[in-house]
Structure formats: C-alpha cells, structure tokens
Structure 1
Amino acid sequence: MKQYVFGLFLGTLFLVGCQETQNKMEHKYTNALVEETSPYLLQHAHNPVDWNAWKPEVLERAKAENKPILISIGYAACHWCHVMEEECFENEEVAKLMNENFINIKIDREERPDVDQIYMDAIQMMTGNGGWPLNIVALPDGRPFWGATYLPKDNWTKSLKSLIDLYHNNPEKVQEYAGKLEQGIQAINLVENKTSKINFTKEELDLAVQNWSTSFDTYLGGYKRAPKFMMPNNLEYLLHYATANKNDTILEYVNTTLKRMAYGGIFDPIDGGFSRYAVDVKWHVPHFEKMLYDNGQLISLYSKAYAVTKNSLYKETVEKSVGFATLELLDTNGGFYSSLDADSKNSSGKLEEGAYYVWTEKELDSILGSESSVFKTYYNINSYGYWEEDKYVLIRDASDNEIADSLGITTTNLTQQIAKNLKQLKKVRDQREKPRLDDKILTSWNGLMLKGLTDAYRYLQNDKYLQLALKNANFLEQEIIQDDFSVYRNHKNGKSSINGFLDDYATLIDGFIGLYEVTFDDRWLTLAKNLTDYAITHFKDEESNMFYYTSDLDDKLIRRSIETNDNVISASNSIMANNLYKLHKVYMKEPYGEIASAMINNVQDNFIKSAQGFSNWMHLISYQQNNFYEIAIVGEAYKEIGRELGKEYIPNSILVATKDDQSPIELLQNRHVPGQTLIYVCIEGSCKLPVTSSGEVLKQL
C-alpha cells in the first residue's frame, strides 16, 4: 500500500459582489465548486474539469444523461490528491475526456465520510488496497464498478477510455459487476442482532489482551511495524485495563509508548502538537501535518496517564498540545479548525514537506552559539536524528535526568537551557512561511477536542482549560445544535451546513458528559441526553440495536452504513455505547442501559482475535466486570470535593453533584443535609452510607 503524505491547502476565499466577479474573470475556468466552503473543494474550483459537489440533483442529471459518475474523493491534507490534480485535473485534454463522458463529482471526505465509507469499502474489495485520492467510476445510480487511488496522467486517461468503451459497448457486463459489488458492500456492513446474551468473562478479556500484546513493540512503543500510528483509543483502553487489573506489564508498555511518542519527532517540542503518524519504527520522521482529531484524543490520553503516573513529561505534553491547538487552530468563535498542512515553503519558495519543522546542524549552531552542543546532544543531531539532505528532525531518546548525567550537569540547568533554546528556535521558525490551514470546523473533531479539554482541566487542574472547553461548548450549542437537537456536520465562514452523522452526535455527547462532570452544570448533561434521544429516534436500527451512520432524514445512498470497528478514531457505535452506558447510570428509567448491553453483545465475538480494532468497546466489558460507580456529591462544598475526586483516575465511574435538592437528577434528590456536604458511592442507584471526604470515597472504591 502506498505511503501517503498528507498536505493541506488553504482554499481561495471568494468575496461577494464585484470582487467575486473580478475573481472569476481572473481564472480561465470556473466550475460549481466555487460555491462550496471546503478548502479542498475550492482548490478544484478552477480546474477545467466540470466538477460538481455531491448533491441529489447532480445524481439525477447523471441518470437523465445516462452518463457514468466519476467520483474523486480526497481531503486538504492529502499530498497525492494535489499531485493528481496537477497532473490530471488541471490538464485541458484530460478534462475534455472527463467532461464529455462523465458526470464529475469532487468530495471532501472529511465533510462527507458517509460517501467515503462506502466507496472505500468498494475499492478495497476491488483491489485489496485503499487510500486517497480515491477515484471511483459508478453507474448513474451510484453503484461502483471501477476504482483506483493515485494514477499518473497516462494511466488515468488510458483507464477512462477503456471504461467509456466498456460502459457503452458492454453494459450488461458493467451492470452485472456493479450488482455483485453492491451485494458485497451490503454484506460486509451487516451486524447480527444476537438475542442470546453471553457475558464476556474475565478469562476471555485477559486472553484478548494477551493475544493483542504479541504485536506490541515493548522497546520503542506502538506496534512492531512501520509506519507507526498513535492509536489513542488502544492506549486509553490498555491504561484502563492495566490499572483495573494491576497489570504492571501492560502499564509499562503504555508508559513506554507514551514516553517515546512524546520524545519523538512526531511531537513538536517548539509549539507542541502531534503530527499524523511516523514513517519509521522509532516515532522519528512524521508526515508533518497536524490534525485536530489526533491532538484532541491525545490530550485526553496524556491527561489520564498523568493522573495515574504523575509523570511530568505527560503534563508538559498536554500543556504544549493545548497550546498548539489554541495558537494555530482556535477560531475567535470558540470552534477549532481541522488541520495544518505538512507542506510549507522552503527558503527557495517551493512547497516542501516538513520545511517549517526541520533544521540543519549549521542553522542550529548559528542560532544557539555556544549552547548548541548541549542542545544537539539532547535532540540527537547525529545519525539517530538525521532525516535527509542535511536535515534533522528533533528527537529525544532519554529522560532529562539521564541526559544531564551523561553531560555532567544538573537536570535543572539542562531543562532551563533547553527551554531557552526552544524559545530561540521559535523566534527563527516564526519567520518561516507557516504551513497552510484547513479552516473548516468539523463537529465530531470538535467533540473530541472538547473531551480533551475537559480531561486536561480535570486531571491537570488548570482553569484555563475549563474556560477553553466552555467557549468551545457554547459555540457548539449556538452554531451547531439546532432547536430539535439535530446537529450540523460543518461550520465555515459563519455558516453551518451538512446534516450531522453519528460520530458528530456521539463525540458531542461524550464531550458534554465530560463537561458536566467538571462543572456540575445540569445544562450540559441535559444537552447530552437530548442529543442521545434524537440519535435513538433518527439513527437507531431496530433490528440490530446498532446505530446507522446516517440519519433517516438524509438522502439515501446505496448503503446505510453501520460503523463498528475502532480505528484511529473510535467507531461511532462504540462511542455511543459508552455514552449510553454512562447516561443509564444517571437516567435509570430510560432504555439506555438495555441498548448499550445489546450493542456490546453484538460485537464481543471479535474481541479475542481483534482487540485492537474494538478497544473502545472493551471499556464496557471492564465496566461490567468491575463495579461501575455513580459518585453523588450533595452540599455546599460540592464543587471543591468534585474537583478533588475528579483528578483521580477512576474510569469506572460517573460524577454527579449539586448544592441542594434542586437538581433534576434523581440520584441527587432527597439527599441534602443542611450544613453538610455528603458523598454517596452508589451502584445502579443503591448507595453505601455517605461519607464527608474524598479520601473516604477512595477507600470505599
């Protein structure tokens, strides 16, 4: 499978009125994408290809003209998407061939993951591989019959000519193949509703983790392969499993991975933030793009790991990652943008991958002077840190104490100098041309970032993080969530658009539950409940008890997908199942617990052989095997005690609190005693005798 370098493109912004007319006159070609807001789609707005966005009327035109649909899917951080545009879609001869014979549709996969899911499954069935750009040729009704990723110009035109001939001269063959492919696309999406409930045992859970651990790289962290992806949900579950089962071996693996990721070139020590993934086994050379969804999840993960270990490296990693997100991705409205490009202009003015982030030894010597020797030792300006063409990617491979000892200086002096040197490098780097920005605001990714901020506040106790979380939550409530509790997928230039998908609801609900647990403002928990009820009404499949990825109000595609496998982002169904399980503990009269149990029952057969792909689901197994606690705080000091308990890592719990009896949460009612703050540790609403301190609560747990 090809290695893809992700790159961002800041699309042209089109003004209104005369300015818009002037812009159009400056370009030889303008197509329908000029009306879109996605930076990726806007990049193609002046291709000679007659591109359209994915819209019902475009599909109807294909049927009316009896033309096959050519669907090209990419996103702003996709390097090879830009290469193919330059080689093929900007070529007038290629465009003529495409325009005369196809209805051409461009899709930003981040805006329309529902379409991308289906055609990615299709190309993997056709070729065994996937990736972007994802190019599909389909019948006018959307059923695919050919697909490819990146193709150079000659291969692209040769393929299209063959497809045109096949479509017109052998339509029966095309129909037959499209029909069989459609059956396969439908079949791999089926989830059986398993009515006989079988509880996953402790022994089976241990076996699942044991099988999973055979792929662990216990020296460098992650998995025994390259490239290395960070997989936050994998590490978060293993942290949960290790602490719940007092498994020091698994905890050591988690710590090794977190340490190496924070040391490696994949993390930016100057401005903070993680890149997408590393191309090597030691987390050194990244694809340099920085995505909001990675950083939101990693902020959560490192915050929880800090709560468990009190490792200052984890705290620093959280602080720098939040700093990066607020510096580079935060809009004034409180929403977070999607990503930064991997490519930026080098000293010659040409776009180059990583140009903004890498250094030559000569540059470092010039900037740091007499202090460069210590810095170069710290960040391995040697064969270990070398990348290519005299360029180095900063990477550590030892702790501050170990490096200080090797240099014969104190750890304090070392850390002070490195902090000073990084500030010096930042001043120089700030003069470079910055990577380009994808400034669309995606709901689901903002939900992940909201959860990251609430976890950062909860476990690091920094009030600034709560203020950021509240600003983000207020934006989401005002601009993304509608009066009926449906949500939009996208926000750009003050306008929200595209009906939300299941991951948009699931991550928002998770984020609002987390925000409630650090504020105890009923507003956020009520909002989480209302979004959940909307999702049950419009996304739930009554036959399987799972949730469709698309709403019953959306236009029909050739398949209504059900997403169950956890990947770089957890599956929308696994996030929903966790949400439902937690909400059941608060709203016990609702059917949330029954739905969550049915969902976990449907997928648990996968755990022993495929734990990595179901790690977020496995939290629910640990909740079932170890008591899940509702911790209820009632009284004047509810916020102070809630904050004390909140900083402890207790994954199998939900915190609820109120000052008096006025909360709508049943668990908190009729428990107020004037002059006292009482804490109740409960299981399914059945509570132990109340205590008055967080220390006593921890003993009860």
Structure 2
Amino acid sequence: MNKLQHQVSPYLLQHQHNPVHWQPWGPEALQQAKDEDKLILVSIGYAACHWCHVMEKECFENQEVADLMNKYFINIKVDREERPDVDMIYMDAIQQMGLSGGWPLNVFLMPSQKPFYGGTYFPKAKWMNILSSVQNAFVEHRAELEASAEGFANSISDNASLFQIMDLETNPSFIPTSLKIIVGNMDPVFGGMNKAPKFPLPSLLKYLESIPSTLGKEIQSFQASEVQLSRMAQGGIFDQLAGGFSRYSVDSEWFAPHFEKMLYDNGQLLEVYAAAYTRTKNPLYSEVLIQTIQFLNSELRAKNGLYYASLDADSEGIEGLFYTWPYEKVNEIIPSLENPEFYRTYSILPNGNWEDARNILFKKEASLNYKFKDELSLLLAERNTRIRPETDIKQILAWNAYLLAGLVAASQALYSAEIKQDALNLADAIEKHLLKLDGSCLHQASFSGNPIEGFLDDYAATALAFIQLYLVTFDKKYLEIANKLVEKATELFESKEANFALYLYAQNKNKELIADKVEFTDSVCPSSNSMLCEALLWIGLIQSQVNCTLRAQQMLETVMSKAQSNPSYFSNWLRIYSQWFENPQAMIKFDLTYVMDQGLMDAMRDINRTLIPVENLPENKHFLVCVGNHCLAPVSTWDELQAQWKELI
C-alpha cells in the first residue's frame, strides 16, 4: 500500500494517491528490501519540478505501470529538498555511470542500497521496458549487478585522495586568471554562462561584485556582472508584475523562464543586487530589490515568520499559465491603441511572443517598472483572480538563512529600516522554530515522525547570516548563535578521515547512507564547506580564535588547486580567498561604548566598511584598522582614525 499519506512534504503528498506502493525513505523501507530480497527503486524529485509532474501523470498514476513496480520493487519516494543527503549520493552515482543527472531522478538499487542503474524522466513505454529489463537482470545476472553496484558505491564516497593540498603562502596570485576565465565564458550580450539554459548562479555574481575596483574594471568583471543583472531584471525570468525570479531561463536571453520560483534563488540574488546597487546606484537594481522583497513577503512568508520553499511552475496542469498573457486579455484591460509604449516596452504581440499565442512580459531595454506602475497594477489585479500555482510549504533552514543574509544586505544598500526589521523578524523566527538550545538545528520546521536534523549547509548558511546580522546590529545574541552553530557543526560533521580539513554534508553519526559525501563545489547555491570556511574566518577575526582561522586556511588549501582549474564551479571559494587573503578588505575594530557615547555611529557607517565591535583594545584606544592579517597602530580619536583611513585609501 501507498504509505505517503502521513508525510508533510508537499511533493510526497502529491504522490499519496498513486497506485504505486510508495514509501518514504527510512529504515522500514530499507529493511523490507533486505527481508524480501527485492530491488529498491528510489525516485527523487521536488514539488516545483515540472517533469516530475509529467512522469507522475504518465507513469506513476497508471495502474499497469504501478502493478509492475509493486510486483518487483520496494518503491521509495524522496523529496530532494527534504533529504538532500540522499539525493546527493544517488545523483553522484548516476553521473558516475556516465548518465545525465536531473530530476526526476530514478535510481535502481540492490537490496543493500547500492546503485547500479538509473536515469531521469522516462515516458511510459520506455519506463515499463526498463522495469522489466532491470528485474530480469536481477534474476539472471545478479552477480554482475552486485559487482557493478559495489563499484559505484565505492566510487561515490568522498575522501582526501580527491584533493591536492596547496600552500597558499607560496602560491602566486591566481584571482586575476580565474576572473579572466569566468568572464571569458560569459555571454557578452545577455550575461550569464554562454549557453542555454541559463541559471543565475548567485555565488559567481557575488564573486564578480567582490573584486577591488581597479581589478574589476581592468578584467571587466563589473561589466560582466552588470550585463547579467540588467538583462535578468528586464527578462521574463523576473516577474515584472509581482517581483521575484524564476529558477532559470530555458533560452540564452533570460526571456522564457522555467516558471518555478525558489526561495534559495531569490534570497541569494538580494545579496547580489544589493552589492551591485551599492557600487553603481543603478535604480533598476533598487527596484529589483524592492519588488523581490515584496514578492517574498506577500507570497512565501508564513504566519510563523519563516518563508516557504517555492512556487510551482504549473497551474491547472500547464506550465507558465499563471504568468503569461493572451494579447486579447491585455488589450481588454489596457487598450493597445491608447498605450502603444506599454506594449513596446513589454514586448506584447498580437500573436504572442511565446507558446500557444501567449505573451511573457519582457523588456528589451532597461526601463523601470515604476514608469508603468498603473498599467502593471491592473494586470496584477487580473492575475490575482487566476488559479495560483501550488506552494511548497516546507520551511528549510539554509534557504531561510540565504534570505536573512539577503535582507541584511538589502537593508544596508537601501538604508531601509523596514527591510532591516524584516531581517530581525526572520532571525527571531529561525531561532524559535529551527534552532535548539544546545547549538544544533533542524533542517526544516515541520516533519513526519522523527525530525530531520540539520545538514552542513543549514549550519553554515545560518551561522553566516547571523554573523552578518551581528555586524549591522552589534547585538551579541546573534554572534553567540553563530558561535554555537559553528562549534556544533565542527562536532557533528568532521570527517572520520584523519587530516582531512573538509566536513561531511550529513552528520557523521548517520547510519542510513552508503557513502560519505563532502559538498565542495559551488553551483546554484554555495557549497556548504565554503560557507563554513567563511564562518570560521569571521569567528576567528571577531573573537580572535586562532584555531578557527587556521582551520579555514586548511580548508582553502585543500580546495584551491581544484578552484584554479575550474573557477566557475568554485566561485564562492575564490571570493573568500580573494576577500580574505589575496585582496583583503580593510575593516575597523572599535570600542562600541565609546562610539555610541561620542555619537559617531552614523559617521562610522558612512565609511562603508565592515565594522567590528571588540572589547580587547589597548587602554584608551578606541579604533583599530586591519587589512587581512595586518593591523595599523590603534588610535584614540575619530580624527586619528580618519587620518589613517585617508592614508590607507
């Protein structure tokens, strides 16, 4: 029987009425496979995945298919966002097999959980052939399957042998070279990687925005960032009516999105647009920040103060139906003869500019939506009467942490007390619903059966976000939370392998998994190890904890040789190395009590550098300017600090 009815994951609940005897991932299903000596089929997806829905309709809702699956397999459904550790193992296995990864991910395992075959989306006829062929191979060629599965299982565990240690002290500068490679691979006209589909890749954009001004202009990293950010803001990937970005564009021009909207993208992109706005003061970027935050607060914020995971791409079974427009409907609301500029600006055509004679609102030029706020409000009111896409109501810690960091950055860029309050409210909700007193955390706020303990990205992203909040509020509570998370992370995720500086993705006490995975590449989200590395650097700097600084350096030395050879997939690592070692930023340590008593806080903030309150300055000294691992002489007065700062810049 289907055992998904008591789950909380919207994705799993979508499958609760399938005739397939689905079970959630866990000891009961895994033990049943061993007891009955049956193959395991693990099918992995997520609620906003369009092709997951297609395969469900074609295959998993079909009784003939279900009968075959139920007869031969223990069928396990996994929400990849709920169990990213399981997804990580079997996605890697598929790629080791030389197959293309993606979702839905369907992997066949021996009763021991070791994988031997799989793939992504399959139409009904092909899926049924695969099911029969796999079962026949299990019966007739079991020994060969066992050997194959054993080989794949051994190959997917990560360990120190994958890495070559680099001595950062003797290594020559490689940030300029890495930037040239990245910029050279980007589309000079529309931005992003020079291919389709196109993903925003916020970590890569953060790297481009973090470079010192002279170097950024020389290598044109700022120009590459601006091209992408502006084109994305104009494109169909950005919801011109309600704000917020879709997950990716299916074409190379950011025109036609895959319409799902994910919290992790939008949270990270707030940080990127905030950095770009601070540098350029481009009003397009401030409009994106404001509209995206409005979208998040109106459509993804839950009553408990946390934010939901995503909005589906489909409504009424059709991808993009909610977001796109027949010409006749737009003309009915905003007559074209009276508003030709609006139609030109948003590329609205009588026969449609997309599929099925529908229009995606898409700006070919970088004009502000504010210019057409009345017209857009009319369309939004009409859109709000439509059947909405489903919301995935999971509240995932790491994703909420990305948003917290984004809100902090946006509040500083726009000098917005309102956005800062949004950040404070979210921090309170995270502390209340996802953090434990002992420093550990949950992966998500609601769960079925046993709670899902936090993964490394949950700990690292949350520690970083609370550090960022501390650096703008100077409230020690946030620093203490970050401290606890970092301490607990080093306890729970340290590799069992001696002298290996990186940390496991799942807790080292986990007994259900067949492989130890170490997440070290940066993709649509920064790698969990890179985030923990940066958190360790901050803790080391703020609290003079040398052991944290040294461990972070060891992590960088472990990864940097790989980062040099493939910089696009190590952009967060490279940014960290650049900002902390090769191009360190000046920071000001200061006596908070003195600054407050002297009324200097606004003047300090105008310097627009990282400010770190400390309590261990020499007697009668109130300011200490540091650049990387070098500090100038401590000074007593504001005038002395200004004089030092002028010499520095």
Normalising to structure 2: TM-score of the pair?
0.93
Q: Is 2:321 aligned against 1:355?
A: yes
1:632 aligns with 2:589: yes
SS at match of 2:108: strand
Task: State yes or no: 1:476 paired with 2:447.
Answer: no
* Residue number in structure 2 paired with 1:217: 187
Q: Per-residue deviation at 1:92?
A: 2.0
Aligned counterparts of 2:160 and 2:320: Cα–Cα separation in 1: 38
Mapped to 1, the partners of 2:449 and 2:469 lie a distance apart of 25
SS class of match (2:451): strand
Tell me the number of residue pairs that the alignment of Structure 1 and Structure 2 aligns: 638
Matched residue, 1:236: 206
- Confirm or deny: 8 A CA contact 2:208 2:216 kept in the other structure: no
Deviation string, structure 1 residues 89-114 (Cα, Å, up to 9, x no partner): 12222222222221111000001110
Distance 1:428 1:197, change over 3 A: closer
**C-alpha displacement of 1:294:** 0.3
| 1:89 partner letter | F
- Whole-angstrom CA distance in 2 between matches of 1:384 and 1:591: 64
The answer (yes or no) to whether the contact 1:235–1:254 under 8 Å persists in 2 is: yes
Instruction: Write out aligned runs for 1:264-303 (5 A).
Output: 264-303=235-274
For the 8 Å contact 1:278–1:286, the answer to whether it is kept is: yes
Shift of 1:257: 1.1
Contact between 1:585 and 1:685, CA under 8 Å: does it hold in 2? no
Contact persistence 1:633–1:642 (CA under 8 A): no
Of 624, 637, 641, which aligns to 1:680? Answer: 624
Q: Read off the aligned partner of 2:544 and give its amino acid letter.
A: M
Report SS of the residue matched to 2:433: helix
Displacement of 1:655 after TM fit?
A: 2.3
Alpha-carbon separation, structure 2, partners of 1:291 and 1:672: 50
Contact 1:198–1:601 under 8 Å retained in 2? no
Separation (CA, whole Å) in 2 of partners of 1:562 and 1:644: 44
Among candidates 363, 366, 370, match of residue 396 of structure 1: 363
Describe the shift of the 1:696–1:310 C-alpha distance in structure 2 as closer, same or farther (beyond 3 A): farther
Alignment partner, residue 521 of structure 1: 475
Deviation track 1:209-263 (CA, whole Å, cap 9, x = no partner) reads: 2122221111111122111111111111011125362525221111111111101
1:44-63 paired onto structure 2 within 5 Å: 44-63=15-34
Q: Which amino acid aligns with 1:682?
A: C
For 1:14, the equivalent position in structure 2 comes to none
Residue 175 of structure 1: how far off its partner (Å)? 0.8
SS at match of 2:522: coil
The answer to which of 59-68 and 688-697 deviates more is 688-697
Aligned AA (1:352):
I
Counterpart residue type for residue 408 of structure 2: T
Q: CA deviation at 1:496?
A: 8.9
- Is 2:164–2:559's contact at 8 Å kept on the other side of the alignment? no
**Partners in 1 of 2:303 and 2:260 — Cα distance?**
22
CA distance in 2, matches of 1:671, 1:221: 52
**1:251-266 counterparts in 2 under 5 A?**
251-266=222-237
Compute the displacement of 1:189 (Å). 8.3
> Which amino acid is 1:359 matched to?
W
Matching residue of 1:459: 413
Contact kept? 1:380, 1:395, Cα under 8 Å = yes
Distance 1:137 1:111, change over 3 A: same
Structure 2 CA distance for aligned equivalents of residues 496 and 324 of structure 1: 33
- Of 441, 446, 461, 1:507 maps to 461
Partner secondary structure for residue 537 of structure 1 = helix
Change (3 A) 1:181 1:514: same
Find the residue that maps to 2:76 and give its secondary structure: strand
Which stretch shows the higher mean deviation, 563-572 or 588-597?
Answer: 588-597
Q: Which residue number in structure 1 is paired with residue 196 of structure 2?
A: 226
Once residues 79 and 129 of structure 1 are traced to their aligned partners in structure 2, the CA distance between those partners, rounded to angstroms, is: 17
Q: Aligned runs of 1:159-170 on 2, under 5 Å?
A: 159-170=130-141
1:582 aligns with 2:525: no
Q: Offset of 1:80 from its aligned partner?
A: 1.3
Specify which of 168, 183, 186 is matched with residue 154 of structure 2: 183
Given that residues 358 and 391 in structure 1 are in contact (C-alpha distance below 8 angstroms), is that contact kept between their aligned partners in structure 2? yes
- Write the distance in 2 (CA, Å) between the matches of 1:101 and 1:647: 67
> Is the 2:274–2:410 Cα contact (8 Å) retained in structure 1?
yes
Give the whole-Å Cα distance in 1 for the aligned partners of 2:283 and 2:448: 39
State the secondary structure of the residue aligned to 1:135. strand
* 8 Å contact from structure 1 (residues 364, 372) kept in 2: no
For the 8 Å contact 1:209–1:608, the answer to whether it is kept is no
Q: Secondary structure of the equivalent of 2:380? A: helix
* 2: CA distance, partners of 1:179 / 1:89: 29
Work out the CA distance in 1 between the residues paired with 2:528 and 2:98.
26
Matches within 5 A, 1:108-507: 108-186=79-157, 190-192=161-163, 194=165, 196=167, 198-202=169-173, 204-241=174-211, 243=213, 245-248=215-218, 249-345=220-316, 351-369=317-335, 371-382=338-349, 386-400=353-367, 417-492=371-446, 497-507=451-461
Unmatched tracts of structure 2, length 5 or more: none
Moved more, 501-510 or 167-176: 167-176
* Cα offset, 1:271, TM superposition: 0.7
Distance 1:562 1:445 in 2: 19
Contact 2:244–2:266 (CA under 8 A) maintained in structure 1: yes
Per the TM alignment, residue 493 of structure 1 is displaced from its structure 2 partner at its CA by 7.9
- Cα separation, partners in 2 of 1:313 and 1:614, compared to 1, 3 Å: same
Deviations 1:244-289 (A, max 9, x none): 6252522111111111110111111111000111111111110111
* Range moving further from structure 2, 623-632 or 309-318: 623-632
Note the C-alpha offset of 1:309.
0.8
**Secondary structure of the structure 2 residue equivalent to 1:226:** coil
Distance change (3 Å), C-alpha of 1:383 and 1:598: farther
Structure 2 residue aligned with 1:611: 567
Question: What is the Cα deviation at residue 361 of structure 1?
Answer: 2.5
Superposed CA offset, 1:414-434 (max 9, x none): 976511111111111111111
Give the secondary structure class of the aligned counterpart of 1:33.
coil
CA gap 1:608/1:179 in 2 versus in 1, 3 angstroms? same
Task: State the secondary structure of the residue aligned to 2:77.
Answer: strand
Q: Matched residues in 1 for 2:437 and 2:214: separation?
A: 41
Q: CA separation in 2, counterparts of 1:160 and 1:597?
A: 49
What amino acid is the match of 2:583? Answer: N
Sequence identity percentage: 37
Q: Structure 1: where are the runs of 5+ without partners? A: 1-29, 346-350, 401-413, 658-664
Shift of 1:32: 1.4
SS of the residue 1:619 aligns to: helix
Question: Is the contact between residue 398 and residue 459 of structure 2 (CA under 8 Å) also seen in structure 1?
Answer: yes
Amino acid at match of 2:319: E
Distance 1:316 1:449, change over 3 A: same
1:594 lines up with 2:565 in the alignment: no
Match status 1:562 vs 2:518: yes
By how many angstroms is 1:48 displaced?
1.5
Residues 423-468 of structure 1 show CA distances to partners (whole Å, capped at 9, x for unaligned) of: 1111111111111111110011001011011111121111111111
Following superposition, the deviation at residue 500 of structure 1 comes to 0.7
RMSD (Å), alpha carbons: 2.5
In 1, distance between residues paired with 2:455 and 2:4? 22
Q: Secondary structure at the residue paired with 1:534? A: helix
Taking the TM superposition and a 5 Å limit, the aligned residue runs for 1:643-658 are 645-646=604-605, 650=609, 654-657=610-613
Partners of 1:679 and 1:691 within 8 A in 2:
yes
**Residue number in structure 2 paired with 1:692:** 638
Secondary structure of 2:443's counterpart equals strand
Change (3 A) 1:244 1:553: farther
**Residues 1:424 and 1:493: Cα distance change in structure 2 (over 3 Å):** farther
CA spacing shift, 1:311–1:195, aligned 2, 3 Å: closer
Paired residues of 2:348 and 2:361 also in contact (CA < 8 A): yes
